[in-house]
Structure 1
Amino acid sequence: MSYADLAAYSRLLRGAHETATTGEARPEGPRRLISASWRRSLDAGIDPAVRAAPLAYGAAGLADARDSHALRPLLPLLTQTLSRTVDEAEHIMVVTDREGRVLWREGDRGVMRRADRVGLADGHAWGEDRMGTNGIGTALAMLRPVHVYSEEHLVHVLHVWSCSAAPIVDPDSGEVLGCLDVSGTAPTLHPATVALVGATARLAEAQLALRMYERDDRLRRRYESLRTRPGILLSATGRVLAGDPGGLAGDRVPLPVSGGRMLLRDGRVAVLEPFADGYLLRSTPSAAPATLRLALLGEGPPRAFLGERRLPLSLRHAEILALLALHPRGLSAEQLSVHLYGDDGNPVTIRAEIHRLRTQLRGTIGAKPYRLTSPVEADFLQVRRLLTAGDPAALAHAYPGPLLPRSESPEIRRERDELEVQVRTCLLLRGSPDDLWTYAQTSNGRADFQVLERIAASLPSTDHRAAAAQARLFAD
């Protein structure tokens, strides 16, 4: 885009700003990436008239955040790579954490003084939910390199700025570590700067990957030096490095607390133990935990048994256990919150419930992500298996009614409705009159017109079940 084009684009953006906060339609507006960011920012309550980014870290908090951050060792590399661009063009380089909070800043002193006025300074927060559309926040939101030009910023005070930013992702964990940004006054920062910033972020990721491989090699050599191979070797983040030729643990293991147990794919139980800079998973088949049995179908109260011990179970705890049984790979607090409450959920509430449930089921629920670590038997999972097997007689006897019928959880309701439809369809297509009569004793089957008609038509008129079906039909 030429600078003549940018001038015309600026005029278009000024008109778009006038209608952005009112929601009015406009024939032309910013490019799609920017318009989507404006919507997210406005939905987050950003005021375009705000004067500066909020302070997120005090001096002590900033020092602690810097000391512990994974990008700290890469600062010389980032500075050296971008120093010529930053110094010659009078720009500043900014490095943030994953939330967009500024950890380090270097560059032209005059530009830094101007940046201080808008909070583009150490300790200030630049996520989209804190400062609207900007290079740092939008790059983190989109997980890609982004250039934000002048009036593309939602906040008016930033219209004299342009910025190019790119997220930096940890090749070990796959999590975003932070963001690299080059900012300057609007006329001086060329849009092509984003390519350089993106390449520098990839260079940082390559350095992180090289260090990861070096750590892996040291850990493998330590493991190989052992006379016997005591278990599956894991990195500090749970990646499987050695000792698992059958792939029983997969590529990565969600780490329980040290000493915690987890279930391997072949049904064996393994215990996590520290080993050098990683972990070992030691198989302990004799220490298999008690089976967790869940009875959550039908009108009665939900029930749970751990081995021979019956557990008191609230509806909320029954919902959590059902969701964890449906998602054996585990769920985060955020995912559980959405499954239980929809968009209005609060992960803090879920963490509190999980804490109480883990206290009650000690050793049965793992963390990061939350998952069941004991063998699980559940009546609704058994119904799923019988549906796959296509055995209507066994299915009718295994299905006493809907899954947690009092639950308002969006995910439980979806599973409940899907299971009900599949059971009813299977029995109507392949079930005997006996199977249909068994289903007719469930809460949904009692008044199912089609099921009752089939029973009445299939059984002799002298059969009491046919008479009962007829009575229900006429009653309805």
Structure 2
Amino acid sequence: MSYAHLNAYSRLLRGAHEAAGTGRALPELPRRLITASWERSLQAGIDPESTSAPLVYDRPRIKDARQAHPLRPLLPMIAETLTGLADEVLIVTDGDGRVLWRDGSHSIMSRADRIGLADGHQWTEDSVGTNGIGTALAAGRPVHVYSEEHIMRVLHIWSCSAAPITDPDSGMVIGCVDVSGTARSLHPATVALVAATAKLAETQLALRMHERDERLRRRYESLRGRPGVLLSSTGRVLLGDPAGDLGERLRLTGRQVMFGDGSVGLLEPFSEGYLLRPAPSDTPPALALTFLGERPPSATFGELDRPLSLRHAEILALLALHPHGLTAEQLSFHLYGDDGNPVTIRAEIHRLRTQLGEAIAAKPYRLTCPLEADFLEVRRHLSVNDTRALACTYTGPLLLRSESPEIRRERDELEAQVRACLLRHGSPDELWAYAQTSNGHDDYEVLERLASLPHTDPRSAAARSRLCV
């Protein structure tokens, strides 16, 4: 695009910004991608006068997030592919638009710091409005966002090209690669290079997935007897289903899988995946965990409801989050950090097994019974954006009194995802349900959305009352 065309397009965008700010009809619309993004951004309540993306990860949390992220081994390849863009900043985020890594010259990164284009800041559309990262994640494809196409005025000196990265193993978007620079220095063709980089990353992820699959298959084929159906850790069917009755992938929501004929199969951790076997007639009763909200944590095992101490609830939550099992040392670290003592954990597990019997196996410690948990159910609803079920299930933070580092991370991440999903897709009824939770009760953005309902709606009056406190 020539400078003359850029200047003309900038004038069009400035007029559109002025119209949007006063509520008038747009005299001439930007391109369709940007118009749709503006609509989402304004519905999310983005303030055009905001000056920075929000910081959502402190230093310890971003260190853990980087270490666990599947894109970490691919960073050298991504950086090498995009070398030569000396005047731009390279950004790699997770699937929720949180910046995990960045690179660039000192001068460009210093300018990026001022707008929160830095480690730990979130760049989804519902955080900062139209931008390369957030719009690529929302649209599910590579995008170039030029200068005044951003909603926030502070971003009008920036342009960015970004592309989402999908994990072929899980089928989920796990990240975004972005190149950002000043409006006149970043050519729109940069988006093609960024898209190619994202595709290259997906190819590398697929190669690594196939290597894991092959290792699993070799171990599976060494088993004797009836080994069952071999699944990847994400539920992809690898071996043992020659007729294809199970399809390509099973949704793993617990230890139990219901087949189409009504029969039940049980998942058993196996190497880096699972074995799915028919449930024996003496299958242990299901364990149901209720750990969300302000009520004391409780478990239902078989027909009996059991109140749980906070420590026992934390142990069960960690075992539910790590279906392959944890050693006493790992449990101790997740619960207490470096000050933990595995001896204490073994004693707590012994007390817990007096209540739950053989539902907890050892070496490593793991749950062996069918499992249902409210926080895992919330995860499942989030994966398909089922806001109605999400609003019914999410009654508040996970184990609110827990100080376990691992549970705190899970609690904060779950809260952030629920809030973002409901703000983006939720109806007034669903936002009102979230406003009844401990964190949602005084959430300014949620209350503002509810306050905009007709004044005859009692939820509007309640929201305005809370905003005035």
Q: Same fold (TM over 0.5)?
A: yes
Aligned residues of 1:100 and 1:179 also touching (Cα < 8 A): yes
The answer to whether the aligner puts 1:269 opposite 2:264 as a matched pair is yes
The answer to whether the aligner puts 1:75 opposite 2:75 as a matched pair is yes
Aligned residues of 2:381 and 2:389 also touching (Cα < 8 A): no
Matched residue type, 1:182: V
Q: Partners in 1 of 2:83 and 2:112 — Cα distance? A: 18
Matched residue type, 1:61: R
Q: Deviations over 1:202-258 (max 9, x none)?
A: 00000000000010011101111223341000111111100111333222122244x
Closer, same or farther: CA 26–178 of 1 in aligned 2, 3 Å: same
Q: Deviations over 1:316-369 (max 9, x none)?
A: xxxxxxxxxxxxxx994356964469xxx46523999xxxxxxxxxxxxxxxxx
Higher relative contact order (CA 8 A, sep 6+): 2
Which secondary structure state, in structure 2, belongs to the residue aligned with residue 147 of structure 1?
strand
Look up the match of 2:28.
Answer: 28
Look up the match of 1:389.
Answer: none
Closer, same or farther: CA 346–269 of 1 in aligned 2, 3 Å: closer
Look up the match of 2:192.
Answer: 195
Look up the match of 1:456.
Answer: none
Gaps of 5+ in 2: 286-302, 306-377, 399-428, 431-469
Which secondary structure state, in structure 1, belongs to the residue aligned with residue 126 of structure 2?
helix
The answer to whether the aligner puts 1:282 opposite 2:277 as a matched pair is yes
Q: Partners in 2 of 1:284 and 1:29 — Cα distance? A: 59
The answer to whether the aligner puts 1:123 opposite 2:120 as a matched pair is yes
Q: Partners in 2 of 1:336 and 1:107 — Cα distance? A: 35
Q: Partners in 1 of 2:57 and 2:132 — Cα distance? A: 20
How do 1:371-390 residues align onto structure 2 when only pairs under 5 Å count?
Answer: none
Look up the match of 2:405.
Answer: none
The answer to whether the aligner puts 1:333 opposite 2:328 as a matched pair is no
Look up the match of 2:38.
Answer: 38
Give the count of matched residue pairs. Answer: 314
Q: Partners in 2 of 1:69 and 1:22 — Cα distance? A: 43
Matched residue type, 1:160: I
Q: Partners in 1 of 2:213 and 2:389 — Cα distance? A: 39
The two structures have a TM-score, normalised by structure 2, of 0.62
Matched residue type, 1:174: G
Closer, same or farther: CA 339–99 of 1 in aligned 2, 3 Å: closer
Q: CA deviation at 1:151?
A: 0.5
Matched residue type, 2:153: H
Two-structure CA RMSD over aligned residues (Å): 2.9
Q: Partners in 1 of 2:396 and 2:154 — Cα distance? A: 39
Closer, same or farther: CA 254–26 of 1 in aligned 2, 3 Å: closer
Matched residue type, 1:349: T
Q: Partners in 1 of 2:392 and 2:19 — Cα distance? A: 33
Q: Deviations over 1:275-312 (max 9, x none)?
A: 1111101113535799xxxxxxxxxxxxxxxxxx9x9x
Q: Which is higher, the Rg of structure 1 or of structure 2?
A: 1
Look up the match of 1:63.
Answer: 63
The answer to whether the aligner puts 1:184 opposite 2:184 as a matched pair is no
How do 1:187-336 residues align onto structure 2 when only pairs under 5 Å count?
Answer: 187-257=184-254, 260-284=255-279, 286-287=281-282, 332-334=380-382
Which secondary structure state, in structure 2, belongs to the residue aligned with residue 270 of structure 1?
strand
Q: Partners in 1 of 2:71 and 2:25 — Cα distance? A: 43
Q: Partners in 1 of 2:245 and 2:281 — Cα distance? A: 18
Q: Partners in 2 of 1:155 and 1:168 — Cα distance? A: 25
Shifted more, 182-191 versus 274-283: the winner is 274-283
Matched residue type, 1:53: A
The answer to whether the aligner puts 1:11 opposite 2:11 as a matched pair is yes
Which secondary structure state, in structure 1, belongs to the residue aligned with residue 33 of structure 2?
helix
Matched residue type, 1:71: L
Q: Deviations over 1:401-429 (max 9, x none)?
A: xxxxxxxx99xxxxxxxxxxxxxxxxxxx
Aligned residues of 1:333 and 1:351 also touching (Cα < 8 A): no
Which secondary structure state, in structure 1, belongs to the residue aligned with residue 91 of structure 2?
strand
Q: Partners in 1 of 2:266 and 2:36 — Cα distance? A: 47
Matched residue type, 1:94: I
Closer, same or farther: CA 36–346 of 1 in aligned 2, 3 Å: farther
Aligned residues of 2:16 and 2:27 also touching (Cα < 8 A): no
Q: Partners in 2 of 1:74 and 1:63 — Cα distance? A: 17
Which secondary structure state, in structure 1, belongs to the residue aligned with residue 82 of structure 2?
helix
Q: Deviations over 1:50-75 (max 9, x none)?
A: 11111111111111111111111110
Matched residue type, 1:333: H
Gaps of 5+ in 1: 291-308, 312-329, 353-408, 411-476
Aligned residues of 1:333 and 1:350 also touching (Cα < 8 A): no
Look up the match of 1:50.
Answer: 50
Matched residue type, 1:159: H
Look up the match of 1:151.
Answer: 148
Q: Partners in 2 of 1:336 and 1:147 — Cα distance? A: 26
Closer, same or farther: CA 42–347 of 1 in aligned 2, 3 Å: farther
Matched residue type, 2:275: L
Which secondary structure state, in structure 1, belongs to the residue aligned with residue 78 of structure 2?
helix
Aligned residues of 1:21 and 1:42 also touching (Cα < 8 A): no
Which secondary structure state, in structure 2, belongs to the residue aligned with residue 178 of structure 1?
strand
Q: Partners in 2 of 1:167 and 1:333 — Cα distance? A: 22
Closer, same or farther: CA 256–138 of 1 in aligned 2, 3 Å: closer
The answer to whether the aligner puts 1:163 opposite 2:211 as a matched pair is no
Matched residue type, 1:348: Y
Q: CA deviation at 1:136?
A: 0.6
Which secondary structure state, in structure 2, belongs to the residue aligned with residue 349 of structure 1?
coil
Determine what percentage of the aligned residue pairs are the same residue.
62
How do 1:396-407 residues align onto structure 2 when only pairs under 5 Å count?
Answer: none
Q: Deviations over 1:426-446 (max 9, x none)?
A: xxxxxxxxxxxxxxxxxxxxx
Look up the match of 1:357.
Answer: none
Aligned residues of 1:269 and 1:287 also touching (Cα < 8 A): no
Q: Deviations over 1:8-31 (max 9, x none)?
A: 000111111101123211231211
